[in-house]
Structures are given as structure tokens and as C-alpha cells.
Amino acid sequence: MAYIANTPDDERIMLERIGLESLDDLFRHIPVELRLKHPLDVPPALSELELSQVIGDLTARNQGADQRVCFLGGGSFDHFIPAVVDQLAGRGEFFTAYTPYQPEASQGTLQAVFEYQTLICQLTGMEVSNSSLYDGASATAEAMLMAQAITGRRGKIVVAETVHPEYRQVLETFLACLEPRLEVVPGPTGVVDAPALEAAIDGDTAAVVFQHPNFLGRLEDARALVAAAHAKGALAIVVVDPVSLGLLAPPSTYGADIVVGEGQSLGNPMSFGGPYLGILACRGEYVRKMPGRIVGETVDRDGKRCWVLALQTREQHIRREKATSNICTNQGLLALRAAIYLAVMGPRGLKLAAESSTRKAHYAAQRLAAVPGLELAFPGPFFKEFVIRANVNPQALLASVLGQGYHGGIALGRFDRRLADCILVAVTEKRTSDEIDGLARAYEHAIADLTAAAPPGQRGKPQILASAGSK
């Protein structure tokens, strides 16, 4: 009852004014047989102090990146978050406002979103960005629907197997009740098989979806994949890591039509998977098919520059069942954090974050590949993630590495049985050379222990994986 302002006196006066005797009378028009006869079976109320204790105890049982050195990635990354991001985004005037339906009372949010859109355009080289979607995966699905609306093609969507498996699952879920089918093109060498991709695209393909850097960390031949899509009149949708764009060529330079990505890395905490930030930017000519809110510049009655929600006729509250997307609430606060992050990092700061991540990742790859029992699974150009193949069970290996103080990577068998001996390792600018050396030692110890413990006949590569060395 902590947040109710009315006193017992208020309650009495108010009930009297509306001609009722009790709070229960407020619900007299609800049929009595529908009403709940007993209190809800939920835990009893806690005071603020008790809540702090209960939640404090529970959260202390978690051992995340604050307790163990984190080499986990796969779409969520432990990048550094400058203090100003928390301080500024935490201001109540941003934090407790809602969608800027009244522009005269929301110029702070509107200008911040307009700046966010501009920053995303600067980063990707694209002409327009929306104000945010839920996350990278649903942004990819929205881009796919958008491509269908733009091309009018209903046949299929071609997606590279090297796109994040959860993103591919989301595409599948979205298409379950719609016309187009999803065709997955394999990536046996760690990048998508380009000739197979080209062959998969036909005259009724709305879009080609690939990720660059891809889920396994590798850089794709983006220019060739885009060209293959365009040759058949399909759109090219690329999933990017926004931090990588501090270093890598922006998607506009290789001809991407729609750029999507997970914006978590831009100043947003990992928070066990959400809330995150779906980035979506595209060519200017597609703006009327773009999902989600967009802020535009205009002038007020005195000719003063200002900002408003623009092109609202694309959205569900006007277009209803004809809208390309059903999105309403977006990730405004996360977009604000991303904008503050980019503003404080600037061009050199972002480049440094990207460059340090890639240098440290390459150092880590070199160190881990030198550990007996580990090898690089998919050698070739990569950004900040790489896959190692182990000659012992990855779950046991990672459990041992964890015991030594490291979240050492993600066992890829959870996504694909053919990768059951593989581990995805991510390295951000936060990791130090000492931590990387420590990780290599932890792997070395773990492999030594596991190999010593296993009966001689079972050493080396597990039988089941002997034929599954490559995907």
C-alpha cells in the first residue's frame, strides 16, 4: 500500500461525493459471481527495507560479469558503460515520461530521439533510422516483413545459417502463419556458402538476410552477398554489431538496403537478455514502409525549429490491420542510452572500443589456439568473437573454467548439434591481457584435469563428433 496517497478521510469524502458507501461498491456493476472471493495467493507485502534484504539476498546468488571474468557474447556483450550514461538517462524527466504524444511537453525526448536516429545513420551510413524496436532479432523479423511490403514478393526469404540461431528462430516464428517460407543456406566453413546463397535466390525472393560479423564472429563477403540479392531483385538485409562499425566499413558502402542490429552494446547493460534495443535503418525511399515510430523536424507557429512524431499513418493506431507492424511501445530509454553512449564516446572513442576489442580478441584467439586440445574451428577474418574446438566435452570444460573464475565461452551444441565440440568466445575492450592470459591458463588446467580423469579409451575427440568437424 506504499504508493497510495488518499488518506482514510479522503477515501470517505470521495466515496460520499460519488454516492457510495464503501470501496466494494465501486465494483457493484461487476457480476458478483465473477468477483474474487479470497485474497490473491501472492507473498505478503514487504517494506522498502525488507525488499532490499530479500532482493539483495537473491541477486547475491548470481555470479555474472561482476564476479567472474566474462568472455560471453553471442549477441549480448560486456562492453564498458561510461558513468554519464547512467546518470543522464536516469533523470526522472526522461525516465518517467512516455511516448511524446504532446510534442510541446516532450521536446527533450523528441530531440534526443531525433539525435539517436541521426547517430544511427552516421554509424551505418544509411539515410533513415527509426526510433528503435525491441531487440536485434525482432528488428530482423520486422525488416523481413518490410522487404515483403516493398518488393511485393511473397515467395521466400533466404537467410544465411551463420545468422544468430535465435534470430533465425524468430524469423521462423513470424513466418509460421504467413505466406513466404524461410530458406536457410549453410555455412560449413564459418561463413555462408556464397554460391549456394546465390542459387537459393529466385524471382519471388523478397530478401536475403545475413549477419556481418556473423554469429560465429567471422566477417562475411558482404559485397558479394548484397550483389547476389540485387541481381535477382531481392533486398539485402544485414544484421550488424554497432560497435564493429567503429572499425568496419559501414553497410551503405556495400549496398545494404536495410540494416538491423542489436543495440545493447551501445551503453546498455546485459541484464540477462533485456530490455535491449533493436536498430533498424534503411534507404530513404523505403521510409513509408518502415515499422515503429520516427521523429521528424518541423517548425512551431513562431517558426522555431522543433520535433514531432512523423509519418504516423504507417503505424497500427491509424492503419490497424493494414499496418506492416504491430509495434507500439518501443525501447525509448535504451535508444536514449545508446545516443548518450555514442555522444560521449565520439568517433575516436568508438573506434578505440572496436579496435581494442578486435586486437584483444585476436590475442585471445592466438593464446587459446596454442592450448593443447584446443584449435580455432573456423580460421579466417573475424571481429571480436571466434570459435574454438575442444577435444574434451565443452560443458565439462566450461564448468571447470568457470570454477577458476571465468565465464569462458558459450557451448554451441545448444544451438546446433553439429557444433557440439565448439565454444564461442567473445572479447571486448574491457578484458585485459592478464585476464586473457588467465583464461588460457584456466583452459589449459581444465583440459589437463579432464583428460587425466577420463579413461584412456575415451580420450581425444568424442566419437559422435568425428564426422561433424565442419558444419
Strand, coil or helix: what is 443?
helix
Per CB under 8 A, the segment of 183-191, 386-394, 399-407, 461-469 that binds other proteins is 399-407
- Can you tell me the distance from the alpha carbon of 7 to that of 1, in angstroms, rounded to the nearest whole number? 11
**Chosen residue from 329, 452, 455, 463 binding other proteins by CB under 8 A:** 329
Q: In the complex with other proteins, which residue's Cβ is closer, 107 or 189?
A: 107
C-alpha distances in Å from residue 82, one per residue of 51, 76, 268, 423: 28, 17, 10, 30
The answer to whether residues 140 and 167 touch, using CB atoms and an 8 Å cutoff, is yes
Instruction: Find the shortest distance in angstroms from Cβ 374 to other proteins.
Output: 19
Per CB under 8 A, the segment of 180-188, 269-277, 368-376, 452-460 that binds other proteins is 269-277
The answer to whether residues 435 and 86 touch, using CB atoms and an 8 Å cutoff, is no
Counting every residue written for the chain, the total comes to 471
**Chosen residue from 196, 311, 369, 396 binding other proteins by CB under 8 A:** 311
Alpha helices in 125-206 (DSSP H): 136-151, 165-175, 194-200
Give the chain's largest Cα–Cα span: 85
**Chosen residue from 51, 199, 231, 453 binding other proteins by CB under 8 A:** 51
- For the four alpha carbons of 415, 416, 421 and 426, in that order, the dihedral sign comes to negative
Q: In the complex with other proteins, which residue's Cβ is closer, 201 or 411?
A: 411
Per CB under 8 A, the segment of 195-203, 262-270, 450-458, 462-470 that binds other proteins is 262-270
- Name residue, grid cell 536516429: 117
**Chosen residue from 189, 202, 363, 459 binding other proteins by CB under 8 A:** 363
Instruction: Find the shortest distance in angstroms from Cβ 41 to other proteins.
Output: 5
Backbone angle region of 210, left / alpha / beta, with phi > 0 → left and psi within -120 to 50 → alpha: beta
C-alpha cell at 331: 525501447
Instruction: Find the shortest distance in angstroms from Cβ 209 to other proteins.
Output: 14
Instruction: Find the shortest distance in angstroms from Cβ 467 to other proteins.
Output: 25
Strand, coil or helix: what is 390?
strand
**Chosen residue from 90, 195, 372, 469 binding other proteins by CB under 8 A:** 90
- Can you tell me the distance from the alpha carbon of 63 to that of 459, in angstroms, rounded to the nearest whole number? 31
Q: In the complex with other proteins, which residue's Cβ is closer, 201 or 330?
A: 330
The answer to whether residues 266 and 243 touch, using CB atoms and an 8 Å cutoff, is yes
The answer to whether residues 231 and 203 touch, using CB atoms and an 8 Å cutoff, is no
The answer to whether residues 316 and 327 touch, using CB atoms and an 8 Å cutoff, is yes
Contact positions with other proteins (CB under 8 A) in 122-161: 122-123, 127-129, 131-132, 134-138, 145
- Can you tell me the distance from the alpha carbon of 320 to that of 291, in angstroms, rounded to the nearest whole number? 13
Q: In the complex with other proteins, which residue's Cβ is closer, 376 or 461?
A: 376
C-alpha distances in Å from residue 74, one per residue of 154, 162, 180, 335, 411: 30, 12, 27, 21, 11
Q: Is 103 in the site for other proteins (CB under 8 A)?
A: yes
Q: How many residues bind other proteins (CB under 8 A)?
A: 208
Instruction: Find the shortest distance in angstroms from Cβ 204 to other proteins.
Output: 17
Contact positions with other proteins (CB under 8 A) in 431-460: 432-433, 436
Q: In the complex with other proteins, which residue's Cβ is closer, 271 or 458?
A: 271
- Name residue, grid cell 529466385: 202
Contact positions with other proteins (CB under 8 A) in 222-251: 245-250
**Chosen residue from 3, 452, 456, 463 binding other proteins by CB under 8 A:** 3
Q: In the complex with other proteins, which residue's Cβ is closer, 201 or 435?
A: 435
Question: Which amino acid, 140?
Answer: T
Measuring CA to CA, which residue among 219, 194, 153, 136 is closest to residue 385? Answer: 219
Question: Which amino acid, 200?
Answer: A
User: What phi and psi, each to the nearest 5 degrees, are found at residue 210?
Assistant: -140, 165
Q: Is 470 in the site for other proteins (CB under 8 A)?
A: no
Per CB under 8 A, the segment of 11-19, 187-195, 200-208, 225-233 that binds other proteins is 11-19
Q: Is 407 in the site for other proteins (CB under 8 A)?
A: yes
Q: Is 393 in the site for other proteins (CB under 8 A)?
A: no
DSSP element (H, E) containing 240: strand 235-240
**Chosen residue from 233, 255, 274, 438 binding other proteins by CB under 8 A:** 274
Instruction: Find the shortest distance in angstroms from Cβ 68 to other proteins.
Output: 7
Contact positions with other proteins (CB under 8 A) in 173-202: 173-174, 176-178
**Chosen residue from 143, 327, 338, 450 binding other proteins by CB under 8 A:** 327
Per CB under 8 A, the segment of 121-129, 155-163, 188-196, 229-237 that binds other proteins is 121-129
